[in-house]
Amino acid sequence: MNAEGALPTCYRHPDRETRLACSNCGRPVCVDCVRTAAVGQKCLECAAPAPGSRVLDMDDVRRGGAGAAVVSMTMLALSVAVFALQFLVPPVGDALARFGVQFNPLVADGQWWRVLTAAFFHGGVTHLLFNMWALYVFGPQLEREVGSLPFLGLYVASAALGGATFYFLEPSGIAVGASGAIFGLFGAWLFAAYRGRHTASGSANLRQLLLLLGINLVLGFLPGTRIAWQAHLGGLVAGTLIAAAWTLPALRRQATLRVAAGAALTAVAVGAVLVV
Domain boundaries of the chain, sorted by first residue: 67-275
Active site residue 232: yes
At the topology level, CATH places domain 67-275 in Rhomboid-like fold (1.20.1540)
Instruction: Say how far apart CA 193 and CA 176 lie, in whole Å.
Output: 29
Of residues 23, 122, 127, 232, which has the active-site annotation?
Answer: 232
Of residues 13, 122, 179, 198, which has the active-site annotation?
Answer: 179
CB 82 within 8 A of CB 63: no
The model's pTM is 0.75
Instruction: Say how far apart CA 75 and CA 161 lie, in whole Å.
Output: 17
Residues in the chain: 276
Active site residue 179: yes
- pLDDT per residue, tens digit, the chain (276 aa), is 444 557 888 888 888 888 888 877 778 888 888 876 655 677 877 776 443 333 344 444 434 444 568 999 999 999 999 999 988 898 998 899 999 999 999 999 999 999 999 999 998 898 899 899 999 988 998 998 888 999 999 999 999 999 999 999 999 999 999 999 999 999 998 888 888 777 776 677 778 778 877 777 666 665 555 778 899 999 999 999 999 998 888 787 788 888 999 999 999 999 998 887
